[in-house]
Structure 1
Amino acid sequence: MSDDARNTDALTAQFLATEHWSLLASRSTTQNEVLTRISILLTLMSAALVSIALVGQATAFAGIFPAFADALLGLVVVVGILTQVRVTNVSMEDLMYVLAMNRLRAEYVRLAPEVARALSTSWHDDREGVSHTYYFLGRRDRSQVFGSSMMFTFVVNGALVGLFLGVLLATSGVDVAVAWTVGIVCAVGYAVVSLWLGARIYFRFWRDYTPASPTD
């Protein structure tokens, strides 16, 4: 190999490494942001429930209590939905970062094929390569989906929506048993629909995506 070719490869590797570190930093910043958003949601939810309990005791659950409880729970539900939207977006952004870094590894392997045996993560930017990068100890299973931050927000927001509707109906004069039955059904329905929408976004992406370095 000529000196010019070696210099070109070295410069290419430097550019790739710089881009790789930039992607890692962006991915870390995004993950920290969404974890902070989830923490804010949980803190707000806890404070809201404590406030409702205190105001309920002070007003004997009468007077301004129904309006206060409905308004406060409505606010928490809105914040929860906004947080869920951000968590879903971050999940797709994280997929974007992983795909981009897999592409960079493909260039590493092209420049120095011997490094392939030292890579734990994949250098293929298709669905199989991404799954290997996310979990290179074996095949990913459903536990990683159900234990994700996105699923966590689905469940929390489902509970919040169910609680809000149950309280709204109960404070409007509807029978308590009916109100809570409606709330539970809506809570489960919300979580299921949210999961379906998230899966739809994920699979639609892979249907329209064309990998640059697919798995052999």
Structure 2
Amino acid sequence: MTDAASPTSAEPPPVPPGVRAQILATEHWGLLASRSTSQAEVLTRIAIFLTLVSAALVSVSLLGQATKYSGPFAPSALGILGLLYVIGILTQVRVINVADEDMMFVIAMNRLRAAYVDIDPGVERYFFASAHDDEVGMQRTYSFLRPRGSTQVAGSSMVFIIVVNSAVLGMFVGGLIAALTGLYGLAIVVGAVLVVLSVVVWLMLGYRGYRRSLASYTPISPSAPES
């Protein structure tokens, strides 16, 4: 009986660091390409929606002048605003989903950056982006030189679309109340309140999705606890 190990039981030779770096770089470029595609797609969707909003408001204005704001004006205007809101909801949901996807891409690239550091620990101090795949590392990658604040969230595409679409909803509901009751003061108040409620509800839903995504994920290279 021979003591030689069979070829199938022999351990594979160690992978050279250069080969590991090539594999990681390929994955990194794949993530960058997917991220760029998602961003380009959602920016196109936003541009289309804003164009439709502008065109719809101009159409309603011209329709009002042509009908002297009577007869078919109310149902036509409400139909335009209703359709615009449906398109806005579809755009808004996509923007929120892309924001969540972008966070996942950033975390994934942080994990790859940690693998680069494993290959060559000396390169970490040259990275502005984080090499930690947790929430702290993700926020560091999004904002290199200072912690992320409320202005980044307030100025995001997600909040922008939520505000615009909530305004469309407020105009639709306010117009519906005015058409049915003729109480324009009530229509303005209800429309304004609905705008605020819609913004708050959608922001809460977006934040809940953000927390749910992070809660379902376990980092493998977390940031060091602050002293």
Q: TM-score range with shorter-chain normalisation?
A: over 0.9
Q: How does 1:92-107 map to 2 (within 5 A)?
A: 92-107=100-115
Higher Rg: 2
SS of the residue corresponding to residue 202 of structure 1 reads helix
* Alpha-carbon distance in structure 2 between the residues aligned to 1:209 and 1:174: 53
Deviations for 1:75-115, whole angstroms, at most 9, x for unmatched residues? 00001111010000000100110011001001000001111
Matched, 1:15 2:23: yes
CA distance, structure 2, for counterparts of residue 206 and residue 101 of structure 1: 15
Alpha-carbon distance in 1 for matches of 2:135, 2:87: 32
Alignment TM-score, normalising by the size of structure 2: 0.91
2:123 matched to 1:142?
Answer: no
The percent of aligned pairs where both chains have the same amino acid is 54
Q: Please identify, of 47-56 and 201-210, the stretch whose mean Cα deviation from structure 2 is larger.
A: 201-210
SS in 2 for 1:136: coil
Query: Which amino acid in structure 2 is aligned with residue 36 of structure 1?
Result: T
Post-superposition Cα deviations, 1:156-187, rounded to whole Å, max 9, x if no partner, equal 11111101111111112330000111000001
- Distance in 2 (CA, whole Å) between partners of 1:162 and 1:213 is 46
Partner of 1:39: 47
Question: What is aligned with 1:91?
Answer: 99
| 2:56 counterpart residue number | 48
- Give the root-mean-square deviation of aligned CA atoms: 1.1
Instruction: Point out where structure 2 has 5 or more consecutive residues left out of the alignment.
Output: 1-12
Aligned partner (choices 143, 148, 154) of residue 162 of structure 2: 154
Q: Of the candidates 154, 160, 182, which is equivalent to residue 174 of structure 1?
A: 182
**TM-score, normalising length from structure 1?**
0.95
How far 1:208 moved relative to its partner?
2.8
Q: Which amino acid aligns with 1:214?
A: P
- Displacement after TM superposition at 1:204 (Å): 2.1
Question: In structure 2, how many angstroms separate the alpha carbons of the residues matched to 1:151 and 1:11?
Answer: 43
Q: 1 CA distance for matches of 2:111 and 2:216?
A: 18
Task: Give the match for residue 60 of structure 1.
Answer: 68
Q: CA deviation at 1:154?
A: 1.2
Q: Show the counterpart of 2:193.
A: 185
C-alpha deviation, 1:10, in angstroms: 1.0
| Alignment gaps of 5+ in structure 1 | none
Distance of 2:112 and 2:33 partners within structure 1: 15
d(CA) in 2 for partners of 1:83, 1:152: 12
Q: In structure 1, what is the Cα distance between the partners aligned to 2:222 and 2:106?
A: 14
Q: Does 1:163 align with 2:165?
A: no
1:172 aligns to what SS in structure 2?
helix
Once the two structures are TM-superposed, the CA of residue 201 in structure 1 deviates from its matched residue by 1.0
The reply to whether residue 125 of structure 1 matches residue 133 of structure 2 is: yes
| Whole-angstrom CA distance in 2 between matches of 1:138 and 1:58 | 54
Task: Kindly tell me the number of residue pairs found equivalent between the two proteins.
Answer: 212
Deviations 1:37-96 (A, max 9, x none): 111111000100100110111111111111100100000000111101000000010011
Q: Secondary structure at the match of 2:181?
A: coil
